[in-house]
């Protein structure tokens, strides 16, 4: 499938090499943490895009899966002494399990029920984590052990996580499941008529997406050393959506481009006057892009290139 090497592959390899090397240069340590965050958010956006961009299942509450993975991994690593990498995978599995649990009742119905369920999910999770003492209540969980001590290695790990999620998207999209997901996105009735078991396809897409989101959340929890109910605030839920729509939903690289553009703007727009308004600016920009250029930045780039 990838027999011919095209210029875009060389650009991709160059970009990865640059992302590996440049932050390691002397004097670049300040960008390590923001870039690590960017990779984590990009991973979350990739997971969201896998669900919406490929299977047409819109989730407005991906922060729930992110948070579930984070909480799961943090508790397993801190209270049960499970090695961090294993705890992360287990946290992601918990996220998948919860996704199946809350997703199943609505997946056999029309798509908009699922959207509404995901829309209210983080608000419910916010109150529940506040109420439950084993989850640390309002203060959350402190002293989550880090994956590794060295910040450059943490950064490389986040890059690997992001690339692995991209690879997962690539393989899923080329598989039989990916084809079924596309048919579901284009026309659910027609897909059903052709014998696609739509609830099963939706469930697989959801659990895979929740797994990747959970990994991203776990990575985030171990990076910060703390996770609290604030993870379920609207900002986290809306970011993957803003990033994917901005970059180009339903494309491999769209979420990554969107994440890098948004996070770069986010870090650089720290001027007093803009800080309070920047989320509004992002939402408004995404709204305009969504209405006028549904293909996002990737679509605009393609149009310019063509």
Partner 1 sequence: MAEPFLVIFFYGLITSLIFALYSVGFSLVFGVAKVIDAAYGIWYTTAAYLIFALATRLLLPLPVVILIVVASMAALGISYYSILVRGLRERIEMIMTTFLVALMVQYLIVAIFTNFPWSIPAMFPGSTQVFGVSLFNQQVAAAVTAFLLLLVLWYLVYRTKIGLAIRAVAQDREAALLMGIDPDRVMAFTLALSCTLAGIAALLQAPNSVISPVMGWPMLTLAFAVVVLGGIGDFFGAILASFIIGFSHQLITNLVNPLYSMAAAFVAILLVLWLRPRGILGRALE
Which residues are near partner 1 by CB under 8 A?
Answer: 56, 58, 60, 102, 104-106, 109-113, 115-117, 119-121, 123-124, 127-128, 130-131, 233-234, 238, 241, 276-277, 279-280, 282-284, 286-287, 290-291
Query: Which C-beta is closer to partner 1: that of 19 or that of 245?
Result: 245
Instruction: Pick the closest to residue 88 from 233, 226, 220 (CA basis).
Output: 220
Q: How far is the CB of 239 from partner 1 (least distance, A)?
A: 11
Query: Which C-beta is closer to partner 1: that of 72 or that of 122?
Result: 122
Q: How far is the CB of 67 from partner 1 (least distance, A)?
A: 15
Q: How is the chain classified by DSSP, letter by letter?
A: ---SPPHHHHHHHHHHHHHHHGGGSTT-GGGHHHHHHHHHHHHHHHHHHIIIIIH----S-HHHHHHHHHHHHHHHHHHS---HHHHHHHHHHHHHHHHHHHHHHHHTS-HHHHHHHHHHHHHHHHHHHHH-GGGTGGG-B--PPPS-S-HHHHHHHHHHHHHHHHHHHHHHHHSHHHHHHHHHHH-HHHHHHTT--HHHHHHHHHHHHHHHHHHHHHHHHHHHS-B-GGGGSHHHHHHHHHHHHHH-TTSSSHHHHHHHHHHHHHHH---HHHHTTHHHHHHHHHHHHHHH-TTHHHHHHHHHH-
Query: Which C-beta is closer to partner 1: that of 92 or that of 184?
Result: 184
Vertex 162: Cα angle to 239 and 53 (nearest 5): 55
Q: How far is the CB of 60 from partner 1 (least distance, A)?
A: 6
Query: Which C-beta is closer to partner 1: that of 130 or that of 224?
Result: 130
Query: Which C-beta is closer to partner 1: that of 43 or that of 286?
Result: 286
Query: Which C-beta is closer to partner 1: that of 84 or that of 289?
Result: 289
Q: How far is the CB of 242 from partner 1 (least distance, A)?
A: 8
Query: Which C-beta is closer to partner 1: that of 126 or that of 155?
Result: 126
Q: How far is the CB of 66 from partner 1 (least distance, A)?
A: 17
Q: How far is the CB of 196 from partner 1 (least distance, A)?
A: 18
Are residues 201 and 95 in contact, defined by beta-carbon separation less than 8 angstroms? no
Q: How far is the CB of 120 from partner 1 (least distance, A)?
A: 4
Q: How many residues does the chain have?
A: 306
């Amino acid at each position: 499938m990838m027999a011919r090497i095209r210029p875009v592959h060389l650009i991709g390899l160059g970009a990865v090499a640059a992302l590996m090397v440049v932050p390691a240069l002397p004097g670049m340590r300040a960008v390590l943490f923001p870039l690590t965050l960017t990779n984590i958010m990009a991973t979350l956006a990739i997971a969201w895009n896998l669900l919406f961009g490929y299977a047409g299942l819109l989730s407005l509450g991906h922060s729930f899966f992110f948070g579930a993975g984070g909480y799961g991994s943090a508790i397993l690593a801190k209270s049960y002494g499970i090695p961090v990498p294993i705890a992360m995978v287990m946290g992601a599995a918990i996220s998948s399990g919860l996704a199946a649990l809350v997703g199943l009742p609505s997946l056999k119905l029309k798509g908009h029920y699922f959207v509404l369920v995901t829309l209210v999910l983080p608000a419910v999770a916010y109150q529940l984590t506040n109420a439950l003492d084993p989850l640390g209540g309002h203060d959350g969980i402190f002293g989550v052990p880090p994956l590794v001590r060295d910040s450059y290695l943490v950064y490389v790990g986040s890059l690997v996580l992001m690339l692995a999620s991209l690879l997962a998207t690539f393989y899923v999209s080329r598989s039989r499941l990916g084809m079924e997901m596309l048919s579901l996105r284009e026309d659910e009735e027609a897909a059903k008529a052709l014998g696609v078991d739509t609830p099963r396809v939706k469930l697989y897409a959801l659990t895979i997406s929740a797994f990747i989101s959970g990994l991203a959340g776990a990575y985030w929890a171990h990076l910060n050393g703390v996770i609290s109910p604030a993870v379920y605030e609207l900002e986290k839920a809306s970011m993957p959506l803003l990033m994917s729509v901005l970059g180009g939903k339903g494309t491999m690289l769209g979420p990554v481009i969107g994440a890098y553009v948004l996070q770069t703007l986010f870090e650089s727009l720290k001027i007093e006057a803009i800080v309070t308004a920047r989320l509004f600016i992002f939402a408004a920009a995404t709204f305009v892009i969504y209405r006028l250029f549904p293909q996002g930045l990737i679509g605009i780039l393609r149009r310019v290139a063509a």
